[in-house]
Structure 1
Amino acid sequence: MVEFPESNVGPKFKGKRVGYFRETAGYRRYAKAYRDGFGLLPPVWETIDVPTSFGTVRAYRFRAGEATPLVLLPGRQAATPMWAANLPGLLAVRPVITLDLLGEPGLSVQSGPLADGVDQAAWLSEALAALESRPVHVLGVSIGGWSAVNLAVHHPDRVASLITLDAPFVFGGVTWKMILVSLGSVLPGMPETWRNKLLSWISGGVSAPQDLPEGRLIASGMKDFASYLPMTNQPAKDQLSALTMPFLGIFAGRSIVHNARKLADRARKLVPGGEFEVWPDASHAINGEFPDEIAARVAKFLGEIEPAAG
C-alpha cells in the first residue's frame, strides 16, 4: 500500500516557485492514478522520504541484495508507477531504487526553488548519499536521462555508471514536435482530447494512453500539477567529454524528440568510451515498448562492470 505524504496542494503555493497541485480535486485525481499504477508494481521492500536542501524526495527500494543498486529516474510528468513494465526484469539483475523527481508530479515534495542545473544535481546527490554511501548505477528515461547525466557532470562521485533511454538535452536539442508537446503539458486549460493526442503522439501512437494507469498518471500530472523548474540546459562539450564512468546511451529511432542517429553519432565523438545505440523500432516510450530487451541490455552492461550481481 503506497503511503502519501503531505503534498503541496492549492493556490497558496502559487508564486512560491515550487511545484504544487493546483487544487484538491486534481490532487485526488492524481493520487488515484498513482495508487492504481503503484498497485501493478512488485512488492516494495522499503519506502523512504529523504530530506534534502530543496525538499523531501520519495524513494522506494525493491528487493535487498549486496550488489550496487540500480537507481531509476522517470521522465517528465511521470513518477515511480511508470516502471511497471520494467521492474520485474530489472529486479532479476540487481536491487533497484526508484525516485520521484523533485519539482515534478509525484510524491516528492519541493520546499525551495531550484535555480539551475546545479541545484537539480544537488538535491539528487543529497538523496542518493542518504540512501547509499557508495556510487550507484543510474538509469534515466527521457528527462530522467538528462537528470542522470546532469548528476554525473556535477557529482561524478555519486555515479558508478550511466544508462540513458532516449534522453533529450544531453547531446543536442529537441524537435519542434517535442516543443509542442512540452507546451501542451503546461497549459491547464487544454481540452482533454488534445492532451491525450499529445500523449499518444509522444508514445509512438498508443491509441488510448489515458486507459492505462501510467497514461492517467501523466495526463493528470500535465493537467493538475504546476512545475517551476529551471530551463533544461545541455551540458557543455567539455563536461560530457570529462565523464569517465561507463555510459550506455540508447536512442529511439522513431522518437519525436530528436534525430536519434545524429545524436548517437555526436555522442560517440564526445564520449568515445561510451556505448551508444539506436533502436530503430522504438519510440520515446521505449521503456514500456521494450522492457525485456532493456533488462537484457542492462544486465549485459552492468555484468561487465560488476559481474557479481547478487
Structure 2
Amino acid sequence: MQPVVGGFTSEAGRAAFMRAHDEAMRCLPAPEASFEVATSFGTVRAWRFAGPGDTPLVLLPGKASSTPLWAGNLPGLQALAPVVALDLLGEPGRSVQTRPITTASEQAQWLDEALAGLGIARAHVLGVSFGGWSAVNLAIHRPQRVASVIALDPALTFGPIGAKVVLFSVLALPFMPRRVRSFALSWIAGGARTAEDSAEGRLIEVGMRVYKSRLPMPTYPTDASLRSVTVPALVVIAGRSIIHDPPRAAARARLLPRAQVELWPDASHALTGEYPERIALAVAGFLARQSAGAP
C-alpha cells in the first residue's frame, strides 16, 4: 500500500502549479544556487540567496504557500545575511513528501535533516503563519540547529485557532467556486485582492486547488514547551489577524524566555506582503542586538 502523503491531485494540476511556481519565482532576486536535499520524509527543495555574514536566515512560508511568498521580503533580508528559502514538505511546492509526517517531533526532524543536508550548523529561522509555528517547533525539538527564532503572526503557536479560520478553511476548499476562494484569500489578507494582484497570490490559489495536504493539525505548544525555548526570539503579532486573538497571542508569546514581542495594530495576517520594509528593519534590529550580546 502506498503511504498517505501530500501530493498533487492530477498530473495536469501538477503541471499548472509548476508553471505558476516558475512565473512567481521570476519575481524573486536571482538565487546563487538551488538544492534538492534528501530527508527521512522526502526531498526538500531549497534556494540560497547571497548575503553578508556566515549564519543564514532560513525562511519558512505558511500553509499552502511556498518560496515565492518572499518576493517582497528578499531584497531587505538579503542585506542582513545569506538567505535560504525552503518549500515545505507536505505543502504545495517543489519539495516532495514520500513518508507520512504525523507528529510535531517529525516536523522538526525533517527540517533539521534538511538544514544538515544543506551544511547549515545553526540558522536564524524565520517563518510566517504555520511557518512561524515550524520555527518555534524546531526550537522546541531540535534547538541545537537554531541561533534565533523570528515568528511572524505564527498560527496555532501562541493562541488557539478561532471560528474565523474554520470558516476560511471551508470557503477555500478546492470545490468552492474560484470567486469564493479568492474572497477567502482576500479576507485572511486583510482585504487585499491577493489571488488577482500578484504572481505569488495566483500560485497560492492554484496550490489550494490542485494539491491535497495530508499533514496533521500542528500541535499547540504547552506553556512548558514555550518556556524551554532559550534562544532569542522575535515575535510579531498582526493586530488585524483573524487566526487568533492578537492581544492574547502577544501576551502568551512572552512565555518565551528571551522574546522580543511586537504587536503591529494595522497589520493583517498577510503582513509579509504589507510591510516588507518594516519586517526587514525589525529583523535588522533584532539581529544587531544579538550580535551586541543582548540578553
CA distance in 2, matches of 1:204, 1:110: 31
How far, CA to CA, are the matches of 2:140 and 2:14 in structure 1? 34
Is 2:82 the counterpart of 1:83? no
- Among candidates 268, 272, 282, match of residue 283 of structure 1: 268
Q: Superposed, which structure 2 residues align to 1:95-134 within 5 Å? A: 95-134=82-121
C-alpha offsets along residues 91-130 of structure 1, whole Å, 9 cap, x if unaligned? Answer: 0111100000000000000011111111111000000112
Residue from 214, 228, 235 that aligns with 1:249: 235
Determine whether 1:196 maps to 2:182: yes
Query: Offset of 1:210 from its aligned partner?
Result: 2.7
Deviations 1:25-81 (A, max 9, x none): 211221121111100100111100000000000010001543200000001100000
In the alignment, structure 2 segments of 5+ residues that lack a partner are none
Pair 1:300-2:285 in alignment: yes
| Structure 2 residue identity aligned to 1:299 | A
Q: Which residue does the alignment assign to 2:142?
A: 155
Contact 1:210 1:219 in 2 (8 A): no
The structure 2 residue matched to 1:68, chosen from 48, 52, 55, is: 55
AA partner of residue 267 (structure 2): A
Q: Which amino acid aligns with 1:61?
A: R
Secondary structure of the residue aligned to 1:201 is helix
Match of 2:164 in 1: 177
Partner of 1:3: none
* Structure 1 residue 307: Cα displacement: 5.7
Q: Which residue does the alignment assign to 1:271?
A: 256
Q: Secondary structure at the match of 1:248?
A: strand
Structure 1: stretches of 5+ with no match in the other structure: 1-12
The two structures have a TM-score, normalised by structure 2, of: 0.96
Shift of 1:303: 1.2
Whether the 8 Å CA contact 1:46–1:61 is kept in 2: the answer is: yes
* Secondary structure of the structure 2 residue equivalent to 1:137: strand
Contact persistence 2:159–2:245 (CA under 8 A) = no
Counterpart of 2:170 in 1: which secondary structure? helix
**RMSD after superposition:** 1.6
Paired with 1:154 and 1:175, the residues of 2 have a C-alpha distance of 26
* Cα distance in 2 for residues equivalent to 1:94 and 1:108: 24
1:164 aligns with 2:147: no
Question: How far apart, in 2, do the equivalents of 1:165 and 1:121 lie?
Answer: 18
TM-score (norm. length: structure 1)? 0.91
Counterpart of 2:221? Answer: 235
On the 8 A contact 1:45/1:64 being kept in 2, the answer is: no
Pick from 4, 15, 23: which aligns with 2:10? 23
2:244 corresponds, among 253, 258, 261, to 258
Which residue is equivalent to 1:58? 45
CA distance in 1, matches of 2:6, 2:194: 27
SS of residue paired to 1:43: coil
> 1:203-214 residue pairs with structure 2 within 5 A?
203-207=189-193, 209-214=195-200
Given that 2:194 and 2:202 are in contact with CA atoms closer than 8 Å, whether structure 1 keeps it comes out as no
> Any conservation in 2 of the 1:116–1:231 contact (CA below 8 Å)?
no
What secondary structure sits across from 1:132 in the alignment? Answer: coil
The ranges of structure 1 where at least 4 consecutive aligned residues each deviate by more than 2 angstroms after the TM superposition are: 64-67, 182-185, 207-211
Q: Which residue of 2 aligns with 1:10?
A: none
d(CA) in 1 for partners of 2:149 and 2:26?
28
Tell me, in whole angstroms, the C-alpha distance in 1 between the residues paired with 2:111 and 2:54. Answer: 21
| Residue identity in the other structure for 1:72 | L
Which one is further off, 205-214 or 239-248?
205-214
How far, CA to CA, are the matches of 1:16 and 1:131 in structure 2? 26
How far apart are residue 21 of structure 1 and its match?
0.7
Inter-partner Cα distance in structure 1 for 2:257 and 2:47: 34
Distance 1:69 1:45 in 2: 14
Question: 1:117·1:230 contact (CA, 8 Å) conserved in 2?
Answer: no
Identity rate, percent = 50
Query: Which sits farther off after the overlay, 207-216 or 99-108?
Result: 207-216
